Each structure stands twice: as C-alpha cells, then as structure tokens.
Amino acid sequence: MLFFPFLKPCPCMLFFLFFTLFYTSTEAYDPLDPFGNITIKWDIREWTPDGYVAVVTMNNFQQYRHISAPGWSLGWTWAKKEVIWQVMGGQTTEQGDCSKFKGNTPHCCKKDPTVVDLLPGTPYNQQIANCCRGGVLSSWAQDPTNAVSAFQVSVGSAGTTNKTVRLPLNFTLKAPGPGYTCGPAKTVTPTKFTTPDKRRVTQALMTWNVTCTYSQFLAQKTPTCCVSLSSFYNDTIVPCPTCSCGCQGNSAQSGSCVDPRAPRLASVVKGAGNKSITPLVQCTSHMCPIRVHWHIKVNYKEYWRVKVTVTNFNYRMNYSDWNLVVQHPNFDNLTQLFSFNYKSINPYGSINDTAMLWGVKFYNDFLNQAGPNGNVQSELLFRKDDSFMFDKGWGFPRRIYFNGDNCVMPPPDAYPWLPNAGSKLEVSLVSYLTLMIASLVVLVLHAYC
C-alpha cells in the first residue's frame, strides 16, 4: 500500500519523490558567476621506483570570491597505502605514524593527509612556481596572476604506470573554513607544458582534475554582512535590519561581541585572540562583521552621485583584497569612480547591471579591523538616462555582496521615500480646507459686526 494514494496512477512520481528526498548535491550554483569554481589539477610529471612525482595546481576561476589568510588547506584520502616522501612549495599539517619505515622517513604517512601552502620568505630550494603565499588566492577578476597556487608532491607505495596508479578520493578544500564541496577526481587529457624559451612542448604522464564549488549556506549559519541606506532627499537613515547576522542575546548564533565604549577595550580584544576565524564584533543591533552603506548624495542636471562606505565591525579580521559586487540597473551609465577599481561582470549577457568594486593597490585594498580606521569609502558618478528616477527606491542597489557573500538588505518598504504627488496633494487639500474655514470665520464675523 502506498503512503501517497495520489501517486497510484503514476509510479514514476513515486520514484522522483524518493530521488529528491535522498539525493545530495555536491555542487553549488551562483547566478552571478555561473562558471566560477576552484579547479585542482594533479599532473604526474615522472615515475619513480615506487610511485611518482606530481605537481598539484589550484586555479581560482571565481570572478569575485577569493581565499584570504590564513589560507587554503587541501585534503584527500589515498586509495591504497600511499605515502608522501617529499613536498615542495607546501607541507602536510601532520606526519602520521611512519614507524614501519627504517632509514628514510616519509614526510607524511597519514591515510588522509592535509596540505597547506608555505609562507612568504620560504627558502628558494623549498619553492616551486606559484607557491608560498600563505595560502592566499586572489579572485580571477581582481588579480588573475595570483589566482593560482601550486605545490609538488613525491608519492611512494603507489602505482608506477597509468594502469596501476589510483586516483585519490574524498577531496576537501577549506578556505580557511568550510563552504567548498569537491567532486570526485576525473582523468582528463594530459596537460601540456611549454619550455621558457617557447621552443619545446612537453606533457604530463597523467592528469586528473577535481572541481570544487562554494556555497554560502555551508560556509556559515548566519550572514556575514548587511546594508544600510540613506539619501539627500530624506532625513531618514535606514539601518541594517535588526539581528541581520545574529542577536546579542543569542551567543550561540551570533558569537561574542564587544562594547566599543568598554574600558580596557584593547586588552579585551587581545585576550580573545586573533587566530580564531570566528568573528568578534562590536555590539550592534545587526551584529554583522561588515556593513555596507549606500548614500545617494547629489542630484545634478545630467548626473547623480552615490557614496559607498564599507565598515568593518570585526576585531579579529583585517580584510585584504576585499571586494564588493553590486547590482543596480544604472551601472551601464557609470561615468566616474573615485578611489575604487571597477569591472562589469555581465552575468546576463548584454545587460550591464552588475559591477565588481575593489580597493586600489597599496591605497585602500586593505580593510582594517574594527576601530577608527576600519572603513573604506568611495563615490560613484552616474549619467542619467531615460530610465532614471528616484521614485520607489530606484536609486538603491538591488543586491550587494561582500567577498562573495550575499549581504542582508533592508525591506523595500523601509527605503527612504521620495516626496511625491500624493504628499503634495495631501498638503494642497489641507491648505484648501484651512482656507475654507478661515473664509467662513471671516464671513461670520462680518455678519455679526
């Protein structure tokens, strides 16, 4: 007997129901960056007596999502009993139990090793190309030359031919926390390499790829940023929605917060430690580490100007190479940008309504932790077109992302309103009634005097 009688005429619906209940997706989809992912390429460059030497390369093909300090960590599970003899340009976090080896001791004997990048300043004899940046990986749109990281690994107790080697399993990528889901390794066409003089092309003996995609829902339980709004035509400042990223009364949800007016603030922040990636924020109504404020500043005859301010409320985090992604229908008419870099993302083809903004190198690309210097700002100048208007909140952004995470927007009915014909009509009606009453009073006084 079926639990759902309405499925009797169509057994295929029952199959579909169970498929959707028990199917778990391993990928995430971002409509603003539909092809964005981190691709891990494993190139076997040479065979050794008991295994192989491979170069592992991570390419960040995400337009606006990068990996900041303390950097990435890459893990996997060996398919057999492989060991790592040596790593160049990286290191495993644990060695594991190598007691069965006499003489030469492997670098790592764990069944599930985790590799991290080396720090800047590593001796040259331990480096390879694109290594040693502390695990920091730039986004593709901001800095494609630094959107790649690599290390070389020498694997033993493994296969020594294309038929006997086994692909690692269960790849994991932390950046530095959760959020990325990696698919299985897949054998692909061997990578080709060009020599520095560009006169010879070599190729890998074997290559496999792993694709990792990001999901904000996996990365954190609560949002990480919010948006506030204001304008020159209304005195109302619309704050971030209350409890956007948590509430002060719910420490399990929002984490701890610090009153900026508290005595000995510096000792409190220092005592909390800076190594944890859990935010330590100022106590606010929104409890977000980051607030983005959009202010409609000036209305000219042919242009209009906006001021954007990004404020850091997190005492534990300095945001290097930060970026914003803003959706607004007038970005096709952006005329001038002050102290920010700009790139159109165009996720919908010819419709230019999505912009990526980030700081100028060595000027404001570094967003300090919470405090007097914990903010960056810029102004945007737009040219008016036929669609321009301030009515119904048109001048405010549709959506804002900070470092790839969607920010909480105020509800549309809370936007600063523009004085309109309805309010003028109301004022005119009141004035008319006042005038009528005054006239009646004058007539009555005139009749009795």
Q: What is the pLDDT of residue 1?
A: 42
Tokens for 206? 């074997």
Instruction: Pick the closest to residue 89 from 53, 117, 55, 123 (CA basis).
Output: 117
Q: What is the pLDDT of residue 346?
A: 79
Is residue 78's pLDDT more than 60?
Answer: yes
Contact by Cβ (8 Å): 58, 174: no
**How many angstroms separate the CA atoms of 292 and 324, rounded?**
9
Mean pLDDT across the stretch 98-116? 95
At residue 303, φ and ψ (nearest 5 deg) are -140, 165
Q: What is the mean pLDDT of the chain?
A: 86
Q: What is the pLDDT of residue 250?
A: 61
Among 21-25, 368-372, 436-440, the least confident range: 21-25
**How many angstroms separate the CA atoms of 170 and 74, rounded?**
11
* Nearest-5° Cα angle at 37, 62 to 176: 85
> For residues 7 and 256, which has the higher predicted lDDT (pLDDT)?
256
Is residue 17's pLDDT more than 60?
Answer: no
Is residue 35's pLDDT more than 70?
Answer: yes
**How many angstroms separate the CA atoms of 351 and 347, rounded?**
8
Among 109-123, 247-261, 323-337, 416-430, the least confident range: 416-430
> For residues 5 and 163, which has the higher predicted lDDT (pLDDT)?
163
> For residues 440 and 293, which has the higher predicted lDDT (pLDDT)?
293
Dump pLDDT digits (tens) for 223-261: 999 999 999 999 999 999 999 998 876 644 445 788 877
- Burial of residue 249 (CB within 10 Å: 0-12, 13-18, 19+) is exposed
Banded model confidence at residue 421, pLDDT cuts 50, 70, 90: very low
**How many angstroms separate the CA atoms of 449 and 429, rounded?**
30
Neighbours of 230 (CB within 10 A): 20
Segment holding 433, helix H or strand E: helix 421-448
Q: Which residues pair with 192 in a beta bridge?
A: 203
Name the pTM for this structure: 0.81
Which residue type sits at 230?
S
Contact by Cβ (8 Å): 241, 411: yes
Q: What is the pLDDT of residue 441?
A: 65
Is residue 396's pLDDT more than 70?
Answer: yes
DSSP assignment of 351-396 = B--EEEEEEPTTTTSEEPPSSTT-EEEEEEEEE--TT---GGGTTS
